[in-house]
Every structure is written in structure tokens, then in C-alpha cells.
């Protein structure tokens, strides 16, 4: 795998997130930036999905269960040329197919309408179960937030997936330690997180969620354990890439002011933000 190429993917995903969010007058910047490398590896090197097979039943599936990171998914779909980057200028505008949470009936490449935390994971489990029942070769990948894992439905799905032996289901958890209003550990802690996934019958690996080679290595080796679904716990930084957004709950959803925008552009290597979505 070409890590240098994936670095370009992650950089352009972040640039598009900033441009889209600023044009829209706001988006979930922190949650979107934290997932940039995970999406770069998935769309750049793992998923068997491209403009030519997007309607094929055998394509791999990706479900963004932390649906509020819609800007990150749209940026990745544009990088994959499944949608035209120019159309992203309409993000969150009246009449646009692209809302703050994505609609699978309106956006090509979006496999599940998500936004209600805890639901996308069950949706993905159903897709993986369908593949098994019908002898289909595709794999199903799903991205969850760590705060999202406080939802009971996540653990119902985890039990169901291991009981059914869904070894082509891979859950990546964006473990950035923050949820909407504060630190996960202050609200309802998850640790011992890896041990919990293991006890639910999953193969587990922890990675640095901003290290492209580590993420790739883990994803390329799934299933980690025979006949078991895989959980990849990706340690990340919420807001990664823009210094003043990193690790700050306030940047879960906030619009940068003019000075902050200048700093963000500099740090994300954006020369002209007007030209990012073209």
C-alpha cells in the first residue's frame, strides 16, 4: 500500500471538511477531523467500492454509524470519485441532497441513513448477516464513535454479530475520548474497552487512529480471529489537524471565526479555500 498516497487522501479529506463546513455555516468539525485517516485507509486501500461497482450487490459496504461526521464521508466519497466535489458546495443548503446527516436514498455511495447514534451498527450487522445467508463475498465495515458505544443497542448488535459468526463484519471505533459535551470517561466510561469487546466474542486490535500504516495493517488482516467479527479500536484525537480544535469539546460543533479560519487553513495547507471544492 502507498502510504504517501493515503497521506494525500487524509489531507484532502480534511481540506474539504473545512471548506464544506464553512460554506454551510457549521458542521461537526471535531468528529469529522478525527476520522480522516480511518476513512482515507478504508476508501483509499481497503473497500472494494468504486464508481464502476457502486450499484453492484457484491460491493463492500461502509456504514458511518457516527452519522454526524457526514462531512468526512462526503469528502471521502468525492476523493473516491463516487461524487463530484463541486456538488459539495451545496452541503446543508436548502434543496441539497447532502444534509448534516446523510440520506441513503439521496446520496450515491451512502449505504445507510444514520445520525441516531447506535443504529448504524445494527444496520451494518444486518448487511453482514445478509451476505452470509446469501453467500455473497462482500465485507461490511462500520465506523462508531466512542460515546456512541454507551448506547445499549451497540452491545445488542455486538452479541448478535458474534453469535452469527459474522467474520466479514469489521467495526472501527473512533476512540477520541470525547463525546458531545465532555469526556466519555467522565460521563459513562468504556474501559476496559478492548476486554469488553473480547468478552462479547469479537477479535480486537488497538491502533493509533492517525497512523495510516497501522490502520491499514489491522484492516488488511481481518478477520483477526476465525469465525469472529473484528473490532478495531482506533485511538484518535478529536479535531485532529487543527491545533486549536484538538481535544476540545467545544469543537464538537462550532464555526471558526475569521482569525481561526486563517489558522485552520494554514495548518491544513489550504492556500485558497474557495478552490477546495472544485
Please say which residue, 147 or 203, places its beta carbon nearer to ligand TPP: 147
27 in contact with ligand TPP (CB under 6 A): no
Please say which residue, 67 or 223, places its beta carbon nearer to ligand TPP: 67
- Give the Å distances, CA to CA, from 219 to 34, 86, 171, 244: 18, 30, 10, 30
For the CB of residue 179, give the shortest distance to ligand TPP in the complex, in Å. Answer: 4
The residue from 34, 70, 140, 157 that contacts ligand TPP (CB under 6 A) is 34
Distance from C-alpha of 174 to C-alpha of 122, rounded to nearest angstrom: 17
For the CB of residue 99, give the shortest distance to ligand TPP in the complex, in Å. Answer: 13
The residue from 68, 80, 210, 240 that contacts ligand TPP (CB under 6 A) is 68
| 3-state DSSP assignment of residue 11 | helix
Question: Which range in 88-96, 128-136, 141-149, 258-266 contacts ligand TPP by CB under 6 A?
Answer: 141-149
Residue 153-182 contact track with ligand TPP, rule CB under 6 A, x = bound: ---------------------x-x-xxx--
For the CB of residue 235, give the shortest distance to ligand TPP in the complex, in Å. Answer: 13
For ligand TPP (CB under 6 A), the number of binding residues is 19
Residues in the chain: 278
Distance from C-alpha of 140 to C-alpha of 218, rounded to nearest angstrom: 15
Please say which residue, 250 or 269, places its beta carbon nearer to ligand TPP: 250
For the CB of residue 75, give the shortest distance to ligand TPP in the complex, in Å. Answer: 15
Distance from C-alpha of 60 to C-alpha of 53, rounded to nearest angstrom: 9
Q: Which of residues 242-261 bind ligand TPP (CB under 6 A)?
A: 252
- Where b means 16+ CB within 10 Å and e means fewer, 187-197 reads eeebeebbebb
Whether the Cβ atoms of residue 72 and residue 241 lie closer than 8 Å to each other? no
Residue with nearest beta carbon to ligand TPP: 145
Which of 200, 197, 202 has the alpha carbon at shortest distance from 175?
A: 197
Which of 238, 242, 222 has the alpha carbon at shortest distance from 230?
A: 222
Q: Which of residues 90-119 bind ligand TPP (CB under 6 A)?
A: 115-118
148 in contact with ligand TPP (CB under 6 A): yes
80 in contact with ligand TPP (CB under 6 A): no
| Residues forming beta bridges with residue 174, ordered by sequence position | 145, 234
Whether the Cβ atoms of residue 168 and residue 132 lie closer than 8 Å to each other? yes
- Give the Å distances, CA to CA, from 1 to 46, 205, 261: 10, 20, 33
Please say which residue, 180 or 194, places its beta carbon nearer to ligand TPP: 180
Question: Which range in 87-95, 143-151, 214-222, 257-265 contacts ligand TPP by CB under 6 A?
Answer: 143-151
Task: Give me the residue label for grid cell 463525546.
Answer: 179
Please say which residue, 102 or 131, places its beta carbon nearer to ligand TPP: 102
Whether the Cβ atoms of residue 251 and residue 182 lie closer than 8 Å to each other? no
Whether the Cβ atoms of residue 277 and residue 88 lie closer than 8 Å to each other? yes
- Give me the residues that bind ligand TPP (CB under 6 A), please: 31, 34, 66, 68, 115-118, 145-148, 174, 176, 178-180, 238, 252
Amino acid at each position: 500500500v502507498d502510504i504517501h498516497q493515503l497521506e494525500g487522501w487524509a489531507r484532502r479529506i480534511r481540506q474539504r471538511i473545512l471548506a464544506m463546513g464553512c460554506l454551510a455555516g457549521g458542521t461537526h468539525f471535531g468528529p469529522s477531523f478525527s476520522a480522516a485517516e480511518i476513512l482515507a485507509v478504508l476508501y483509499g486501500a481497503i473497500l472494494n467500492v468504486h464508481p464502476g461497482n457502486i450499484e453492484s450487490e457484491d460491493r463492500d459496504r461502509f456504514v458511518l454509524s457516527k452519522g454526524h461526521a457526514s462531512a468526512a464521508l462526503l469528502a471521502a466519497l468525492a476523493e473516491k470519485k463516487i461524487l463530484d466535489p463541486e456538488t459539495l458546495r451545496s452541503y446543508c443548503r436548502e434543496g441539497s441532497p447532502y444534509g448534516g446527516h446523510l440520506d441513503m436514498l439521496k446520496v450515491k455511495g451512502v449505504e445507510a441513513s444514520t445520525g441516531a447514534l447506535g443504529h448504524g451498527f445494527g444496520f451494518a450487522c444486518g448487511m453482514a448477516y445478509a451476505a452470509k445467508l446469501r453467500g455473497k463475498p462482500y465485507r461490511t465495515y462500520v465506523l462508531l464513535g466512542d460515546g456512541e458505544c454507551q448506547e445499549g443497542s451497540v452491545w445488542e448488535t455486538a452479541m448478535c454479530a458474534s453469535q452469527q459468526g459474522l467474520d466479514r463484519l469489521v467495526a472501527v471505533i473512533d476512540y477520541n475520548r470525547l463525546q458531545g459535551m465532555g469526556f466519555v470517561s467522565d460521563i459513562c466510561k468504556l474501559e476496559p474497552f478492548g476486554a469488553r469487546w473480547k468478552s462479547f466474542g469479537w477479535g480486537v486490535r488497538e491502533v493509533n487512529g492517525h497512523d495510516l500504516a497501522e490502520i491499514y495493517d489491522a484492516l488488511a488482516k481481518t478477520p483477526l480471529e476465525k469465525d469472529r467479527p473484528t473490532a478495531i479500536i482506533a485511538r484518535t484525537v478529536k479535531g485532529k489537524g487543527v491545533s486549536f480544535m484538538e481535544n476540545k469539546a467545544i469543537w464538537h460543533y462550532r464555526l471558526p471565526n475569521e482569525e481561526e479560519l486563517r489558522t485552520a487553513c494554514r495548518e491544513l495547507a489550504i492556500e485558497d479555500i474557495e478552490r477546495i471544492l472544485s
